[in-house]
Amino acid sequence: MNYAIDVVLFDGFELLDVFGPVEFFGSLPDSFDITYVAAAAGPVTSSQGAQVIATQAISSLRRPEWTWPVR
């Protein structure tokens, strides 16, 4: 069984706050499915200027096993 992890993105997020944990959970693909979400699906810009694509809007989510807001 895989756990669903929804990473909540917002404009100005810190790359390390997102991708430190994503690197860990992503190294266990047989246990975790990672989805990037935001207020609306589409590109979200970090405080460093890099963009990450949110594939889903928060309003469209199923009830996740895990959610970690990065702030």
* Rounded-to-integer distance, Cα 42 and Cα 28, Å: 26
Nearest CA to 16 out of 38, 39, 48, 41 is that of 48
What is the reported pTM? 0.82
Is the pLDDT confidence value at 61 over 90? no
**Mind listing the pLDDT tens digit for each residue in 10-44?**
999 999 999 999 999 999 999 999 999 999 999 99
**Mind listing the pLDDT tens digit for each residue in 38-56?**
999 999 999 999 999 999 9
Residue 70 contacts residue 17 (beta carbons within 8 Å): yes
Is the pLDDT confidence value at 7 over 90? yes
